[in-house]
Structure 1
Amino acid sequence: MRLRDWDTNLKIRLAGESVVNISFWMFFPFLAIYFTESFGKTTAGLLLIFSQFFAVVANLFGGYCADRFGRKRMMVLSTFGQGFAYIFFAWASSPWLDSPIIGFISFTAVSIFSAFYNPASQAMVADVIPEKDRSGVFAVFYTSINIAVVIGPILGGIFYATHRFELLALAAIINILLGVILQAWVSETAPLAKKLKAKGNRISGFSVLLNQLRDYQIIFRDKVFLLFIIAGVLVYQTFMQLDLLFPVYINEMVDPQSIFSFTLQEEQIFGFLLAENGLFVALLTITVTKWAAMYKERNVFILSSLIYGFSMILFGATQWVWGLFIAIALFSIAELLTAGIQQGFVSKLAPAHMRGQYFAASSLRFTIGRMLAPLSIPMTGWIGYTGTFAMISLLAIMSAILYFVMFSLYDKAKVDIP
Structure 2
Amino acid sequence: MDDRGGILKKLTYFHPLVWSILFGTIFTRAASFMTLPFLALYLQRELHASPLMIGITLGVAQLFATFGGLFGGFLTDKVGRKLVILFTIFVWSGVFFGFALFNSIPVFIVLSSLNGLCRSFFEPASQALMIDFTEKEKRRRLFSVRYTAINVAGVIGPVLGVWISNLSSPSMPFIITGSIYATYGIILIFLLNHFEMRQQLARERQTLFQMFKVVGTDTKLLLLIAGGMLINLGYSQYDSTLPQFVNLSIEDGVELFSVLLVTNAAVVLLLQLPISIYSEKISMLKCLVIGMCFFAAGFVLFNMATNWPFFIGAMVIFTIGEIFAFPMMNAMIEEIAPDTQKATYLGASQLKNIGGFIGPVFGGWLLIHFQGEIYFVIAVLMLASLIFYKKALAKSS
TM-score, normalization: structure 2?
A: 0.90
Cα distance in 2, alignment partners of residues 284 and 362 from structure 1? 27
Structure 2 contact 56–109 (Cα < 8 Å) conserved = no
What is the rounded CA distance, in whole Å, between the counterparts of 2:289 and 2:392 in structure 1? 11
- Residue matched to 2:149: 144
Paired residues of 1:25 and 1:149 also in contact (CA < 8 A) = yes
2:18 aligned partner: 10
Q: Is this contact kept in 1: 2:288–2:386, CA < 8 A?
A: yes
- In structure 1, the partner of 2:5 is none
Deviations 1:37-85 (CA, angstroms, capped at 9, x unpaired): 5321122223333343222221110000111111222111111110122
Deviation at 1:86, TM superposition (A): 1.9
1:296–1:361 distance in 2 versus 1, CA, 3 Å: same
Q: Which residue of 1 aligns with 2:189?
A: 183
What's the offset of the Cα at 1:119?
0.9
Identity %: 24
- Which amino acid in the other structure matches residue 400 of structure 1? L
> 1:50 and 1:137 mapped to 2: Cα distance?
30
Counterpart for residue 175 of structure 2? 169
Distance 2:333 2:53 in 1: 36
RMSD: 2.1
Distance 1:293 1:74 in 2: 34
Q: 2:29 aligns with which of 15, 18, 21?
A: 21
Q: What amino acid maps onto 1:247 in structure 2?
A: P
Q: Could you tell me how far apart the structure 2 residues matched to 1:27 and 1:48 are?
A: 13
| Residue identity in the other structure for 1:221 | T
Distance 1:290 1:123, change over 3 A: farther
CA shift for structure 1 position 20: 0.9
Q: Does residue 224 of structure 2 align to residue 228 of structure 1?
A: yes
- Determine the C-alpha separation between the residues in 1 that align with 2:88 and 2:273: 28
Give a deviation string over 1:120-146, Cα, whole Å, max 9, x none: 122223322233321211111111111
State how far apart, in whole Å, the 2-side matches of 1:380 and 1:371 are. 16
In 1, the alpha carbon distance for the partners of 2:296 and 2:212 equals: 31
Structure 1 position 371, deviation (Å): 0.9
Contact persistence 2:159–2:262 (CA under 8 A)? yes
User: Is the Cα contact below 8 Å between 1:191 and 1:353 reproduced in 2?
Assistant: yes
User: What SS is found at the alignment partner of 1:192?
Assistant: coil
SS in 2 for 1:215: helix
* Kept after mapping to 2: 8 A contact 1:313/1:389: yes
Say which is worse superposed, 214-223 or 158-167, in terms of deviation.
158-167
TM-aligned CA deviation for residue 288 of structure 1: 2.2
Q: 1:363 is paired with a residue of what secondary structure?
A: helix
2:55–2:240 contact (8 Å) kept in structure 1: no
Report if the CA contact (8 A) 1:281-1:336 is conserved. yes
Q: Distance in 1 between matches of 2:291 and 2:69?
A: 25
2:335 corresponds to 1:348: yes
Structure 1 Cα separation of the partners of residues 104 and 230 of structure 2: 34
Q: More deviation in 36-45 or 61-70?
A: 36-45
Is residue 2:389 matched to residue 1:399?
no
> Which stretch of structure 1 is more off in the superposition, 117-126 or 268-277?
117-126
Q: Is the 8 A contact 2:57 2:112 kept in 1?
A: no
Q: Per the alignment, do residues 77 and 61 of structure 1 end up closer, same or farther by CA in structure 2, a change over 3 Å counting?
A: same
- For 1:362 and 1:312, locate their aligned partners in 2 and report how far apart those are by CA, in whole Å: 25
Q: Which runs of 4+ in 1 moved over 6 A?
A: none
Q: Distance in 1 between matches of 2:85 and 2:327?
A: 22
- The within-5 A match list for 1:311-326 is 311-326=298-313
Q: Which structure 2 residues correspond to residues 216-255 of structure 1 after superposition, within 5 A?
A: 216-254=212-250
Aligned positions of 1:10-409 closer than 5 A:
10-37=18-45, 38-92=48-102, 98-161=103-166, 162-186=168-192, 187=195, 188-192=197-201, 211-254=207-250, 256=251, 265-365=252-352, 367-374=353-360, 375-382=362-369, 384-409=370-395
CA distance in 2, matches of 1:393, 1:51: 23
Relative to structure 2, which stretch is displaced further, 158-167 or 4-13? 158-167
Distance in 1 between residues matched to 2:33 and 2:61, nearest whole Å: 19
Contact 2:234 2:382 in 1 (8 A): yes
The question of whether the paired residues in 1 share the 8 Å contact of 2:60 and 2:109 is answered with no
Q: Output the amino acid matched with 1:355.
A: K
- For residue 184 of structure 2, what is the amino acid of its counterpart? L
Change (3 A) 1:287 1:69: farther
Separation in structure 2 between the aligned mates of residue 61 and residue 250 of structure 1, nearest angstrom: 37
Indicate conservation of the 8 Å contact 1:79/1:175, yes or no. yes
| Alignment partner, residue 95 of structure 1 | none
Q: Which residue of 1 aligns with 2:6?
A: none
Normalising by the residue count of structure 1, what TM-score does the alignment of the two structures yield?
A: 0.86
1:357 Cα offset (Å): 0.8
Deviation at 1:107, TM superposition (A): 2.9
The letter of the residue matching 1:141 is R
In the alignment, the residues of structure 1 paired with residue 388 and residue 116 of structure 2 have an alpha-carbon distance, to the nearest angstrom, of 28
* 2-structure distance, mates of 1:400, 1:54: 26
The gaps in structure 2 that reach 5 residues or longer are 1-8
Conserved? CA contact 2:28–2:180, under 8 Å: yes
Look up the SS of the partner of 2:12 in the other structure. helix
Aligned equivalents of 2:220 and 2:155: distance in 1? 35
Q: CA deviation at 1:100?
A: 4.2
Mark the runs of 5 or more structure 1 residues left unpaired by the alignment.
93-97, 197-202, 257-264, 412-418
Out of 100-109 and 318-327, give the one that drifted further.
100-109
CA deviations on 1:226-270 (whole Å, 9 max, x unpaired) are 11110111012222211111111011122x3xxxxxxxx211111
In the alignment, the residues of structure 1 paired with residue 320 and residue 44 of structure 2 have an alpha-carbon distance, to the nearest angstrom, of: 29
Partner Cα separation in structure 2 for residue 387 and residue 165 of structure 1: 33
Q: Compared with structure 1, are the counterparts of its residues 52 and 385 closer, same or farther at alpha carbon in structure 2 (3 Å cutoff)?
A: same
Counterpart contact for 1:126–1:347, Cα < 8 Å: no
Size of the aligned set, in residue pairs, is: 382
CA contact (8 A) 1:131 1:344 kept: no
